Structure 1
Amino acid sequence: MTGQTPTEQSLETLQDIKRMMERSSRFISLSGLSGVSAGVCALIGAWIAHGWLYLDGDGFVRTPYRDASLLTNMIILALAVLIAALASSTFFTWRKARRSKLPIWDLTAKRLAINMAIPLAAGGFFVLGLLDHHGWQYVAPACLVFYGLALVNASKYTLTDIRYLGLLEIVLGCINMYYPHQGLYFWAAGFGVLHIVYGLIMWWKYERT
């Protein structure tokens, strides 16, 4: 005897069915710590780039197209930040999936990856076009907008909270278009601060217990 009334047993059964349906249609192994780690990597990269680009907060003192070595270093730094963010995010997601006894790569994970990859690929080509036309000051807002679109597009295959992060990234990128020479600060806010805040909220809601 469980001591439950028939109504309570029915509600528990419905909750079990709901959880099973969510596991089959949504990728729920995303860890809040993944967002925090990615945000920390972004802030570290922004801090390093700031030392290369700015002097005493007075504005740009060097530009990539006037300094070939700076452009090379910025590209290497961006790749290093991306690799570090992906590696740390993958680790925390794998750890959560393992603790929850869920697969990290299944049909829903593939759908999530595909729906994120399409806007990201388009954004990547768009950014390359900007660089080819010396429009480096619009790279940051373009990255924010296309990344936000990727999150919104993929949100239907994972926790819906990620949709709000995507919308905030899009808004931040649109505002950045009107302040193009402050792109590094917007980039740090979007990929750094927003990720950390989002990750902490996600951890508090879904992983704290």
Structure 2
Amino acid sequence: MNKDKALESVNEIKELMEKSSKFISLSGMTAVMAGAYSLVGAYVASRFMSSEASPKELITVASLVLLASVVTACVLSWYKSKKTGQKLFSRLTYRTAWNFSLPLLIGGLFCIALLLHGNYGLISSVMLLFYGLSLVNVSKFTYSNVAWLGYAFLCLGVTDCFFEGHALMFWTIGFGGFHILYGILFYLQYERSR
């Protein structure tokens, strides 16, 4: 067996092991689309805020952004899983979803509690922080660089805590800007050559 064939065999084994132990059906386009939805949502929210919108209207906008992002993530993950030959629904998928969703669920409940008590000032910080924790938590089941996106959200969330009155700006930077930047970098690193 020559050196090139041996190296090719090792690379194939490595790729098979990664497919079986990591959720690799993520797509850079998912992050870009989530970022685009967030930018649109932030624009709509800013228009509502200039006309003194109720919290209910802002919650509706945020919920629509979340729903559009989740649906897009599911559709693009399904498409990529078919393309890569990885089963979309497996024990690994459920573990990945659970580890991502648990911090989001707790953060969402915390946001609801803040809303019910009229404490609106820290809601964007809580969203950024718990989303960052979700990304760091899920990174062990998918691409490890997802953790860096999580760290960026955590830093932004902590910073947001100290700047009252700029919640929409920080939310837009995180959910809009960070997602788009990460999606482009993800595409360049993992998807462009395939």
Task: Please give the range of the TM-score, normalised by the shorter of the 2 chains.
Answer: over 0.9
Which residue does 1:57 correspond to in 2? none
How far apart, CA to CA, are the structure 2 residues paired with 1:8 and 1:121?
49
Q: Which residue of 1 aligns with 2:43?
A: 47
How far residue 133 of structure 1 moved from its aligned partner, in angstroms, is: 2.0
Q: In the alignment, is the contact (CA less than 8 A) between 1:39 and 1:196 conserved in 2?
A: yes
Deviation at 1:132, TM superposition (A): 1.9
What is the CA RMSD across the aligned residues, in angstroms? 1.4
CA deviations 1:44-103 (Å, max 9, x no partner) are: 00000011214xxxxxx73xxxxxx62221121111111111112222222211111221
Q: How far is 1:198 from its partner?
A: 0.4
Matched to 1:158, the amino acid is T
Secondary structure at the counterpart of residue 102 of structure 1: coil
CA distance in 1, matches of 2:12, 2:164: 50
Equivalence for 1:26: 22
Structure 1 stretch displaced more, 126-135 or 178-187: 126-135
Residues of 1 paired with 2:36 and 2:19: CA distance? 29
Structure 1 contact 141–180 (Cα < 8 Å) conserved: no
Distance in 2 (alpha carbons) for counterparts of 1:72 and 1:128:
11
In structure 1, distance between residues paired with 2:27 and 2:46: 29
Q: Which residue of the partner structure matches residue 159 of structure 1?
A: 143
Is residue 2:11 matched to residue 1:15?
A: yes
Give % identity.
Answer: 35
Equivalent pairs counted in the alignment come to 193
Q: 1:65-104 residue pairs with structure 2 within 5 A?
A: 70-104=54-88
Alignment partners' CA distance in 2, 1:38 and 1:47: 14
SS in 2 for 1:115: helix
Secondary structure of the residue that 2:42 maps to in structure 1? helix
Q: Who wins on radius of gyration, i.e. which is larger?
A: 1
Give the gaps of 5 or more residues in structure 1. Answer: 55-60, 63-68
Which residue is equivalent to 1:129? 113
Tell me by how many angstroms 1:8 deviates. 2.1
Q: Which runs of 4+ in 1 moved over 3 A?
A: none
CA-to-aligned-CA distance 1:101-129 (integer Å, 9 cap, x gap): 22112121111111111111111121112
8 Å Cα contact 1:29-1:97 kept in structure 2:
yes
Per-residue CA distance 1:107-158 (angstroms, 9 max, x = gap): 2111111111111111112111211221111100100000000000000000
**Structure 2: which 5+ runs fail to align?**
none
